[in-house]
Structure 1
Amino acid sequence: MGNGPNDHGLSRRHLGQALDDSLRRLGIEHIDLYQMHAWDALTPIEETLRFLDDAVSAGKIGYYGFSNYVGWHIAKAVEIAKARGYTRPVTLQPQYNLLVRDIELEIVDACLDAGMGLLPWSPLGGGWLTGKYKRDEMPAVATRLGENPNRGSESFAPRNAQERTWAIIAAVEEIAKARGVTMAQVALAWTAARPAVTSVILGARTPEQLADNLGAAELKLSEAEMGQLNEISAPQPAAYPYGESGRNQRHRKIGGGR
């Protein structure tokens, strides 16, 4: 990253320099998974995909993926890679947890169609799904939300005011107590069990938190528990195109007319 015209974006020049710099800093010759952080509207996607295909062929990376792409970004990139015979993307790294399920409206289906795996970040919702925050308390200064008082207040207040937030937290807590595990483990187990999810990105700050998070790998939620969490945390889109009306239309047989 820098202030120069070629110090950002997904151009061949910038990606080539960034990849070589990463390999040099890490002291290695190969990166297993190389991910593009965000869509670049100024660089033709063909240029980006060609570079990534060349990087795979050169042995510098094994696979590549994206982060923060929406459904049409994914579909366009995959179809161009297929048409040109380039190596295809294998992963998407989106925000995804019981509190934030918007990717289910389109992005999950795009990944399933493309055969891409999801690597969710913030699976614990920034600490909300661990029972860290209380309805009538602002974040402490030591927390991520509280490090910048102004930013912390803006990001905390809307979620704190939503009854949906507290209903989800209550459901997670209920299951955790019944199973004798932590709320974090329940939230992580739910995310890991969702369609297309291949792994989750943990954000533990201490060895104790990491050990607790890893315990979720041994937790398999029952069908009833998954159903309870799915229902209480369901996205709330408008009826069309992503709500009930849209689902009915998408599932209707082709040729049925409007």
Structure 2
Amino acid sequence: MEYTRLGATGLEVSRLCLGTLNFGSGQPWMMNDREASVELVREALDAGVNFLDTANAYSGGESESIVGEAIEEYDREELVVATKVYFDMGDGPNKGGLSRKHILDQIEGSLDRLGTDYVDVYQIHRWDENTPIEETLSALDTLVEEGTVRYIGASTMAGWQFSKALHAADVEGYERFRCMQPEYNLVDRHEEANLLPICADQDVGVVPWSPLAGGFLAGKYERGREIPEGTRAADDDYTEQRLTDENWEVLDVVRELAAEKDASPAQVSLAWLLHKDVVDAPIIGPRRKSHLEDNLGAVDVSLTDDEIARLEEPIFPQWPVEGKD
């Protein structure tokens, strides 16, 4: 495994981050097997992955508790555990958002489920239009000052919102967001016209989610054929929405390069992200050991400038895009 620094910090993270959205129950495309989920986390750690990403909202906290169980016997100082806050964690008032109350309440639950006394990276899962960003930053700054949180990060928002948050932190003297989680992959490149230039300019680490577009870029699907049973696209429209003519053109090139390099489509797709200077660690989401092993092999796949251009040619990045804000 290779390692890098997260943005402008001194924090060392593996070039691939293990995402844990799949680790829990409630959706057919999730693992729905706690023991197997714990084992998969440990296999990733044994392979050198030290960066784990979860969220309080993933399966209502179940994902965090799986991560907590999995890391019990590992050296906590070597691990980088990241979680998130924003989405509703119950019915009634003050159960969601980024108010000072909700943030301070939710960090306690996350720490309890993770079985640790601090979180390395605490991220706001979305922008909260109902809470002043200064209130959110003040609460996060308190957690950093207490040592409960080491660094703070953000995820999925408009560029103007992120710029506003960074400016507010600088003006008020609050802790800055050190990393950003954008949706970014070969067929979802809108962030090249939104968040990524800001991250590059401000030395903010980039940790892309859905690097394989919900499995589409792994080559699981065939143009014009029925969606296979048991795949994510069969149960979730996120992946199904990627079955467009333009995206199929990208996947055709991915498959061509994979054949030329004796690699898998997933490895080529992840390697493309790893070759981007702005990207620190794509978040992989394997559901079984074979997926994990395949994803880890992406670190060893090299791409030339011409090959990168071939992969990018079918799509022109645009912001905003339909259905996203």
Asked if 1:126 corresponds to 2:214, the answer is yes
Contact 1:75 1:114 in 2 (8 A): no
Residues 145-184 of structure 1: matches in 2 within 5 Å? Answer: 145-147=233-235, 152=237, 156=240, 159-160=242-243, 162-184=244-266
Which residue among 235, 251, 254 is the counterpart of 2:317? 235
Q: For the residues of structure 2 that align with 1:171 and 1:234, how far apart are their CA atoms?
A: 16
Aligned twin of 2:273:
191
- Aligned CA RMSD, in angstroms, stands at 1.7
The answer to which of 173-182 and 192-201 deviates more is 192-201
Counting aligned pairs with the same residue, the percent is 41
Contact 2:213 2:242 in 1 (8 A): no
Quick one: which amino acid aligns to residue 167 of structure 1? E
Aligned twin of 1:210:
292
Judging by fraction of residues, say which structure has more helix: 1
The answer to which of 82-91 and 134-143 deviates more is 134-143
Aligned twin of 1:34:
122
How far 1:184 moved relative to its partner? 0.5
CA displacement 1:125-178 (0-9 Å, x = unmatched): 11111211111123233122212xxx54x862x543x32112101111111111
Segments of 5+ residues of structure 1 without an aligned counterpart are 239-258
Aligned twin of 2:101:
13
Contact 1:74 1:111 in 2 (8 A): no
Larger radius of gyration: 1
- SS at 1:212 equivalent: helix
Aligned twin of 1:251:
none
Which residue among 186, 203, 227 is the counterpart of 1:115? 203
Contact 1:89 1:116 in 2 (8 A): yes
Aligned length: 232
Q: For the residues of structure 2 that align with 1:22 and 1:200, how far apart are their CA atoms?
A: 23
Q: Please, what TM-score do these two structures have when normalized by structure 1?
A: 0.85
Q: Please, what TM-score do these two structures have when normalized by structure 2?
A: 0.68
Contact 2:182 2:195 in 1 (8 A): no
Residues 220-231 of structure 1: matches in 2 within 5 Å? Answer: 220-231=302-313
Q: Which has the higher contact order (CA 8 A, sep 6+)?
A: 2
Q: For the residues of structure 1 that align with 2:270 and 2:303, how far apart are their CA atoms?
A: 10
Judging by fraction of residues, say which structure has more strand: 2
